[in-house]
A and B are shown apart, each in its own frame.
Chain A
Amino acid sequence: MANTIQVDIVSAEEQIFSGEAYMVYAPAVMGEVGIAPRHTPLISPLKPGEVRLDMGDGKEEFFFISGGILEVQPHLVTVLSDTAIRADDLDEAAAIEAQKRAEAALADQQSDLDIAKAKAELVAAAAQIQAIKKLKKK
C-alpha cells in the first residue's frame, strides 16, 4: 500500500495498535496535527486526547490517550502513550515521597559503607548453601 503509513500505538503496559493507516490525527501540545504518509520527521509531546486513524473507505479508529510522545518518520508513526498521569509537580512529589521513605528506613543506620564485610557475609552464605547441598547428596 503506497499511500499508507505504518502506525504503532504502545503504552508502557501493553501494545494498543499496530497497523497501516491513510492518515493519523494526534493531539500534539501545540495543537492537533494530521500526519499523511511521507511526512517530514517530527517529534512532539502529546496532550491527553484522542488519536484518530483514517483506515480508508470512510472507516476510522479512535484511541484515547492520557498524554505521551509522538514520533514521525516518513513511513512510520510511533505513539508512546503514558499510562500514568504526568506533570512536573506530580513527578517531583513522587520523588520527594520516595526520598522520605528511604530517609525513614535509614534512620537507625550507623555504619559506613563496608563492602569487604558485606562480601564476606555473602561468601559465608554461599558456603552454607554449598554445605547444605553436599549434606543432601549423602
Chain B
Amino acid sequence: MAGGKEIKTKIASVQNTQKITAAMEMVAASKMRRAQDQMFATRPYAQRIANVVSHVASAHPEYKHPFLIDRPIKRIGLIAISTDRGLCGGLNTNMFKKALNHIGDFDDKGIEIKVVTFGTKALGFFKRIGAKVVAETSHIGDRPEIAKIIGPVQVLLSSFEKGEVDAIYLISNEFVNTMTQQPTVTQLVPVEPAPDEELKHHWDYIYEPDSKEVLDSLLERYIESLVYQGVVENVACEMAARMIAMKSATDNASDMIDELQLIYNRERQAGITQEISEIVGGAAAV
C-alpha cells in the first residue's frame, strides 16, 4: 500500500485548511452585514451635506471658495482606499489597476502625482511603484471613525489651498452587491455640485460669522464625508470579497478532498487485490 499513508496525511491537511477557510467565510459574512449597516447609517449625512453644498453652489456669496474654482492642472492629489489585510480576492488588485489607468494618463503628460493611502495594501503598492505618498493611515479597523480620516485628508486639502495640487481624486471600491465590487474614481476637488433647480432666483444666505469661515468648514466636512463613505464602503466590499474568496477556497478544498479520497480508495483496493492474488498464488503453489 505505497503512498496510502501519505495520501491520508494530505487529506487531513486539506481538511484543516478547509476548516479555516470555512470559518473565515462565516466571520466575513457576519462582518459584512455589520459593515453594510454602517454603510447605510452614513448615507443620510452624505445626502444632507451634498444637498447643503448644492444649495450653497446655487447661492450667490461675495466670496468664491477656492475649492469651487477650476484651475489648470499641473499636479494632482490622489486618495486611494484599500484594505489592511489580504485574502479578499481581486478587490485590491482591481482597484490598483483602475488607479494606474487613471494616473497613467496624468503621468504621460508629466503631471506630478501625490498620493494619500488608506490601508496597508495601498501603501505597499504605491510605495513599490515609486509613487510619492504624502500621508497614510492604516489599521482603521472594521468600524471606521471619521476622526481617523481627518488628518490624511487635511494634508491634501492644505496642499490644494497652497496651490501644490490642482485637483484631488478619490479611488475606492463601490459596493454594488455581495458578488460585485466596482472600483471607481471620484473627483473631490474642485467640488462640482449639482445646482439645485428650485433655487434659480437670485438669493443668498445669511452667513454667520462670515461666508469664508462657513464655506471653509462646510466644504472640508463635505470632502471628509465623501472619503469617510469610501472607507466605510470599502470595509463592506472587503468583507464581501473575502466571503466569496473563502467560499470558493472551501469549495476547492472539498473537490481536492474528493479527488484524494478516490486515489486513496483505489490505492487501497489495489493493495487488497494484490494480497489476495498473492495468497491464491501461494495456495496454488503448495
Task: List A residues at the B interface (Cβ < 8 Å).
Answer: 8, 10-15, 18, 28-30, 33, 40-45, 69, 71, 73, 78, 80, 82-86, 91-99, 101-102, 105-106, 109, 111-115, 117-119, 122, 125-126, 129, 136
Contact = CB atoms under 8 A, between A and B. Distances in A.
Given A80-B52, A84-B150, A42 B205 contact: yes
> Would you list the 8 A-B pairs with minimal beta carbon distance, nearest first?
A94-B151, A95-B154, A44-B208, A98-B135, A118-B129, A98-B151, A84-B147, A15-B44
B130 interface: yes
Which secondary structure characterizes the binding site on chain B? helix
A126 B132 CA distance: 25
A80 B44 CA distance: 10
Interface residues of B, number: 61
A12 B207 contact: no
Contacts of B136: 98, 101-102, 105
B259 to A, nearest CB: 12
A98 B117 CA distance: 10
Contacts of A125: 93
A12 B154 contact: no
A71 B52 contact: yes
Interface of B: 38, 41-42, 44-45, 48-49, 51-52, 55-56, 59, 90, 93, 96-97, 100, 103-104, 107, 113, 116-117, 123, 125, 127-137, 145-147, 150-152, 154-155, 158, 203-209, 213-214, 217-218, 221, 224-225, 228, 252
B171 to A, nearest CB: 14
A56 B41 CA distance: 28
A105 B133 contact: yes
30 contacts: A12-B224, A29-B209, A43-B52, A43-B206, A43-B207, A44-B214, A69-B217, A69-B221, A71-B52, A78-B48, A78-B51, A80-B48, A80-B49, A83-B146, A84-B150, A95-B135, A95-B154, A98-B151, A98-B155, A105-B136, A111-B129, A113-B132, A114-B129, A114-B130, A115-B103, A117-B129, A118-B96, A118-B100, A119-B100, A122-B97
